[in-house]
Amino acid sequence: MYREQYSRYVSLVEETIEKLLPKTEAVCPKEEGVMPQLLCESMRYSLLAGGKRIRPVLLLAACDMLGGDLEQAKAPAAALEMIHTYSLIHDDLPGMDDDDFRRGRPTNHKVYGVGHAILAGDGLLNYAYECLLGNAAQYPENLQGHVLAAKAIANRAGVCGMIAGQSLDLSSEHMEPDAERLGYIHAHKTADLLTAPLLAAAYIAGASEEQIDALRRFGYCVGIAFQIDDDLLDVEGDAALLGKQTGMDAQRGKMTWPALMGVEASRARSARLWDEAEEAISIFGERAWFMRGFAAQMRTRKS
């Protein structure tokens, strides 16, 4: 039941992405509103490379759980995946993590060159907001909900959110691990973009303050646990399953939970956070069945 529903959400996201970002063969477009082929191809290369689609799935699932209109949530879900994909493309660049593989294939800059990888990321980020705003304009009766959803996404992806976390992550390389810094990096680099879909769904569906608080707590716990697991997978995971190299954090001198407190304590901390995440959504009762399935599935992930 959970797996089928997850696949249904993924299909919905991928259909929406196809609709919003169609292919083009125009090398030098003659009409307005058509992007050049190379730009379009490099954006599609990473966006359609088959990630897990966790963030857009969370947005659709939260909207369903809150009794919202899924139709209104489709474009925001696709936009969030565009933002996530831009962050991966830029994170893989030589000036950041300098990675060769992502989602089981060569990274964007390995295929299109650094210049076009930067543009593919910029393009996805900008287009995401174009899609969000275009979608908001289609629902004048729920404009407030859509504006607050777009603001929550911009805020969590932005200079006090994911970008802030990435900034501290970058400037903390080769430093002695420090719990406070690491907490900040994970809360922003990872947890913020997992909380964003929950908040966006809450605003679109008109959730109560109590429900918003519960979803914020759930997003935070899921985000930190997800990042601890990611750090653990880099130490002991299978590169073939992960679709990227392992052992890179230590090689780069990254600040991670295993580096701070060792593998066993990191595992225990992640387990506690997954429990706390489940507790956070208990206020939704039966309606949270998919979120509970999500947490159960994620806490044992291998990729």
Alpha-carbon gap, residue 85 to 122, rounded angstroms: 10
SS3 102: strand
x/- site string to ligand GRG, residues 77 to 96, per CB under 6 A?
Answer: -------x--xx-xx-----
Instruction: Pick the binder of ligand GRG from 54, 57, 120, 153 (CB under 6 A).
Output: 54
From residue 155, alpha-carbon distances to 200, 220, 297 in Å are 11, 15, 28
Query: Residue 159 or residue 268: which is nearer to ligand GRG going by CB?
Result: 159
Strand partners, 105: 102
Other C-beta atoms closer than 10 Å to the C-beta of 91 total: 18
Closest residue by Cα to residue 198 from 276, 297, 294: 294
Bridge partners, 102 (sequence order): 105
Residue closer to ligand GRG (CB basis): 54 or 136: 54
Q: How far is the CB of 110 from ligand GRG (least distance, A)?
A: 16
Q: What is the closest distance, in whole angstroms, from the C-beta atom of residue 196 to ligand GRG in the complex?
A: 12
204 binds ligand GRG (CB under 6 A): no
- Spell 196-214 as b/e; 16+ CB within 10 A means b: bbbbbbbbbbebeeebbeb
Q: Which is nearer to ligand GRG, 227 or 270 (CB)?
A: 227
Provide DSSP, 127-154.
HHHHHHHHHHHT-GGGHHHHHHHHHHHH
Least distance (Å) between residue 128 CB and ligand GRG: 13
Angle between helices 70-91 and 2-20 (to 10 degrees): 80
CB of 6 to ligand GRG, least distance (A): 13
Number of residues engaging ligand GRG in binding (CB under 6 A): 16
Q: Which x/- pattern over 134-173 shows residues binding ligand GRG (rule: CB under 6 A)?
A: ----------------------------xx--x-------
In the range 22-51, which residues lie near ligand GRG by CB under 6 A? 51
Residues found near ligand GRG in the complex (CB under 6 A): 51-52, 54, 84, 87-88, 90-91, 103, 162-163, 166, 189-190, 227, 230
